[in-house]
Structure 1
Amino acid sequence: MEGQRTPEILDYRNKNGHGWSFFKHDGILRSINTTPEDVTEMTRKVQKLELRDDDVLVAAYPKCGTHWLWEIVTMLKAGNSEYNKKAKEIAMLGMPKFERADELPSPRVLNSHLNFRHLPEKLVEKKIRTIFIMRNPKDVSVSLFNHLNGIKLSFRFDGTYSEFLDLFLEGKVASGDYVDYVKDWLQVKQDNPDLPMLTLFYENLKKDPVKNIKTVADFIGVPVSDELCEQIAEACSFKKLKSADTEVKEHTTNPLSMWKEGRQGVYRKGEVGDWKNWITVAQNEIFDNVIERRFEGTGIVFTYE
């Protein structure tokens, strides 16, 4: 995609017209609502972002617990269980507001859905503590479908879950291929032994939040009491976070404007195993075959219930 060459448009809409058209930029699917020049400029700005020695980065594919973990790490850094009023989006690398990350006081907790190669160049050199969280792909597919089906924006998905699942399993969604994304981050850990990196599973954090919050605290070098870990676990329970998120949006100038009526925010259920309410027996067999084949040799074992 050198110079001003027009990129090839990949039309991944199905026979019902549901889906998206993309172009590829550095191996990543990008919406045709943007341009290669815009993507190049955004990537350059992210890569040149000045990092601070005490920054922490949370990395995850969408709907894998990014908001949740960001709140937890922010509370640990602050030493209390109070919600941070600064919008998480300002600290989200690659999003429209991320250039305001310099406004955030240290210690910052940055977060991103980007691939490693598109993140700040000094990440390894500065040994920025990085936490990668992943979630079982069945629940990811259901959560991502509901997110994209619930918004009013141009990249929404108006089809059924079955239609979405076909695209998800082929990596033809706006977030890119889930398996490729996870494998890319697993490779990062192997290729960069000097990068302090902690890998977490959404399901483990859900099952035993206090234990996993203590693990995160140890990793980022924050001394904590069992009492504080319990307070943070309570404050970051799904119900409490959903309530806090709604409260913040109700005090913004354009509350919930991106969501269809009755669909209000990024927090839906947050359950482990909700996929059983969506995926048929036949679809589950296909899903298992795809995941088993594509994750073979990685040692990754997901928890589905």
Structure 2
Amino acid sequence: MEKKECSSAEVDHSSPKDEFQELLQTLEHQTNWDGQRLVKYEGIWLVELLFRPILSAQKYFKAKDTDSSTHFQSSQVVGGPGIQSLLGKGEENPDPESFPEPRILSTHIPFEILPDSIRESDCRIIYISRNPLDIFISQRQFLLENKFAKDAVPLELDEAFDMFCRGITAYGPFWDHMLGYWNAHLKNPERFLFLKYEDLKGDILSNVKKIAEFMGFPFSPEEEKQGVVEQISRLCSFENLKNLEVNKSGNVMGLMKNSSFFRKGEVGDWVNYLSPEMAERIKNIMESKFQGSGLTFNI
């Protein structure tokens, strides 16, 4: 297949604020569990505050073949030097031309509404999925701690869970989000790597090697002998990242506490919050939505 060359262009920060206003007014609206307003765009629930930045990224962002992108569906975002967010705060996105190369980008944007230049380039995408029950608890705790809708009263757990099961959640429904990248991985495994958080926690060494091979930089026998895989695994561990000083204080864009990105990092923490009946409901949803896809999660 002929390799496509993607030129870079600046994100247009001067677009009128009402560029997407007419479209926004036509969309279905809903209130999220924490009081934030959601809008339904092409079957996907988006936080209204991020609607313009997402559509702006669709329109203006130009991917490069050397880019790598990490997509988090786990509500467990891992940040660090060199990892840049595709979206910005409020009306504006950061200028990707200012990012050092090779660019490493992170986003929650579903596959279906990624900028065309990302889907059509040769950049590589790593998607990290997670058991939906743990996703719900992690996301709910994150929203409660950061209080994005300052004056709103968050829904009780049962009500929030019901909305989650009906697909009403930021970037949801969760099953469509997962299937978008799962199917892309099956169709083009050279460009899309689909990982499960549970597998990363269970066998980090094998998965670090898998990621290195996917990125085209496999470890040499000498590097493995010297313990490089183990060193990288320790540096990237949840425990190490949580204990970094930068992740203990401060915030992101004045909105999100750095500490809120690292809560417990445990597999199966949902059992401390949800009933067996709730777990059964999610299990039935997954069996229905994932049927025939080959995608499964243990509950």
Answer yes or no: is 1:147 the counterpart of 2:142: yes
- Report the Cα distance in structure 2 between the residues aligned to 1:195 and 1:223, rounded to whole angstroms: 14
CA shift, 1:19, in A, is 4.9
Answer yes or no: is 1:183 the counterpart of 2:182: no
Preserved contact between residue 169 and residue 287 of structure 1 (Cα < 8 Å): yes
Q: Which residue of 2 aligns with 1:158?
A: 154
Q: Which residue of 2 aligns with 1:4?
A: 22
Preserved contact between residue 249 and residue 256 of structure 1 (Cα < 8 Å): no
Give a deviation string over 1:111-132, Cα, whole Å, max 9, x none.
1111223323222443111112
Answer yes or no: is 1:287 the counterpart of 2:299: no
> Structure 1 residues 159-168 or 25-34, which shifts more?
25-34
CA shift, 1:62, in A, is 4.6
* Change beyond 3 A, Cα 1:207–1:46: same
Q: Which residue of 2 aligns with 1:265?
A: 260
Q: Which residue of 1 aligns with 2:217?
A: 222
Runs of at least 5 residues in structure 2 that lack an aligned partner in the other structure: 1-19
Find the partner of 1:138 among 128, 133, 138: 133
* Change beyond 3 A, Cα 1:268–1:120: same
CA shift, 1:48, in A, is 3.0
Q: Which residue of 2 aligns with 1:236?
A: 236
Preserved contact between residue 126 and residue 195 of structure 2 (Cα < 8 Å): yes
CA shift, 1:160, in A, is 2.9
Q: Which residue of 2 aligns with 1:44?
A: 56
- Report the Cα distance in structure 2 between the residues aligned to 1:59 and 1:154, rounded to whole angstroms: 25
Answer yes or no: is 1:24 the counterpart of 2:40: yes
* Change beyond 3 A, Cα 1:13–1:184: closer
Secondary structure of 2:297 counterpart: coil
Find the partner of 2:69 among 47, 54, 57: 57
Aligned residues: 272
Aligned residue runs from structure 1 range 89-104, under 5 A = 91-96=84-89, 98-104=93-99
- Report the Cα distance in structure 2 between the residues aligned to 1:213 and 1:285, rounded to whole angstroms: 33
- Report the Cα distance in structure 2 between the residues aligned to 1:138 and 1:113, rounded to whole angstroms: 18
Q: Which residue of 1 aligns with 2:8?
A: none
Supply the RMSD in Å over aligned alpha carbons: 3.1
Runs of at least 5 residues in structure 1 that lack an aligned partner in the other structure: 72-82
- Report the Cα distance in structure 1 between the residues aligned to 2:35 and 2:252, rounded to whole angstroms: 27
- Report the Cα distance in structure 1 between the residues aligned to 2:183 and 2:278, rounded to whole angstroms: 29
TM-score by length of 1: 0.77
Preserved contact between residue 149 and residue 159 of structure 1 (Cα < 8 Å): no
Give a deviation string over 1:18-60, Cα, whole Å, max 9, x none.
65543322322234456x6x35xx4233443232332111123
- Report the Cα distance in structure 2 between the residues aligned to 1:8 and 1:104, rounded to whole angstroms: 33
CA shift, 1:258, in A, is 4.1
Q: Which residue of 2 aligns with 1:127?
A: 122
Give a deviation string over 1:125-163, Cα, whole Å, max 9, x none.
431111122111111111111111111222887233222
Q: Which residue of 1 aligns with 2:5?
A: none
Residue identity matched to 1:242: K
Preserved contact between residue 209 and residue 218 of structure 2 (Cα < 8 Å): no
> Structure 1 residues 152-161 or 209-218, which shifts more?
152-161
- Report the Cα distance in structure 2 between the residues aligned to 1:209 and 1:151, rounded to whole angstroms: 30
Give a deviation string over 1:198-222, Cα, whole Å, max 9, x none.
1111111111111100100011012
